[in-house]
């Protein structure tokens, strides 16, 4: 049986990330989370289109006018709570494109 020789690439230690790499990764993560929040906001908007705003506790025209801000806030809060995993995928792909895997 032939002796197996491991590849030198497998034996080498992975390079430690520099401060600029860590800063880039943090910016990428922030961008990925912002993307997921915006995506969730757009997905939530149709959910509120059919709701009535009239009645004793309705917000009237103001509620309709500021509904997009509410869905944006809901999207951001959903991301803070863990989101749907879209930010992880976006982050991974951006890092892959930048060669920072």
CA–CA separation, 85 vs 90, rounded Å? 9
Domain count across the chain:
1
In a domain, 12, yes or no: no
The reported pTM is: 0.74
How far is residue 6's CA from residue 39's CA, in Å, rounded to a whole number? 45
| Residue 55: exposure state from Cβ atoms within 10 A (0-12, 13-18, ≥19) | exposed
Residue 71 placed within a domain: yes
* 5: in domain: no
Q: Is residue 43 part of a domain?
A: yes
Which residues span the domain enclosing 42? 18-98
Angle (CA) 80 86 90, round 5°: 110
Q: How many CA atoms lie within 13 A of 35 on its CB side?
A: 15
Residue 6 maps to a domain: no
For residue 91, being part of any structural domain is answered with: yes
Dump pLDDT digits (tens) for 8-23. 666 666 678 788 888 9
Asked whether residue 40 is assigned to any structural domain, the reply reads yes
Note the pLDDT tens digit of each residue in 56-79: 666 777 777 888 899 999 999 999
């Amino acid at each position: 049986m032939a002796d197996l020789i491991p590849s030198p690439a497998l034996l080498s230690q992975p390079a430690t990330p520099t401060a600029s790499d860590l800063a880039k990764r943090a910016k990428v993560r922030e961008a990925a989370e912002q993307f997921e929040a915006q995506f969730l906001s757009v997905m939530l908007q149709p959910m509120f289109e059919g709701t009535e705003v009239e009645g004793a506790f309705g917000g009237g025209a103001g509620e309709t006018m500021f509904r997009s801000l509410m869905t944006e806030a809901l999207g951001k809060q959903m991301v803070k709570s863990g989101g749907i995993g879209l930010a992880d995928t976006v982050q991974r792909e951006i890092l892959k494109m930048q060669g920072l895997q």
